[in-house]
Structure 1
Amino acid sequence: MLLDAVYLQAGARVQCSARAVSTAGRGGLGLTSPLVEVSKEEGLCPPHTPGAIGAEPFSAKIRYTGPDDPQHPNLIRLTITMPHVDGT
């Protein structure tokens, strides 16, 4: 998994795609999220290192929802957390 701040600028479009693969190497159903656009009005967080361009820290979790999930049974839930940095 890779997220690079160079591509996450105002007006950029982001889409996630995931496919589970069994331990035997068999691929499951691939799923793609809807496209979303990074806001042009609300701005972006500045980089952690002033003047730097490049990857920013993030945390990613991937989880199988299971057959008993009431809204999204048998799917993969991907959660990406990027820390916010206040500007000056």
Structure 2
Amino acid sequence: ADKGYQAAGGSVRTPFKRHRYQPKLSRRQKAVNRAHARIRARGERAIATLKTWKILAKLRCCPRRATAIVQAVLVLHHVETSRCSG
């Protein structure tokens, strides 16, 4: 999650947030934030890619079947993009 979900707790991971009267973040905290941003960016790109496929907006089936369909869509997308770019 992003910095807006600081109190989410549980298995939700959020980056460190500097508070108003607190000094700068430590090097370790900045490194953790960079690693978190890298992981989060991959998820954001995947979601943006899936949103380009209009068929998924009309998808009405069980989550297990939807997962298989989404995986197939991503494979087709990657095959198509690698074919066009190289």
TM-score range (shorter-chain normalised) is: under 0.3
Q: Which of the two has greater strand per residue?
A: 1
Q: TM-score under structure 2 normalisation?
A: 0.25
Q: Give the alignment's TM-score, normalised by structure 1.
A: 0.24
Higher helix share: 2
Q: In terms of Rg, which structure is larger?
A: 2
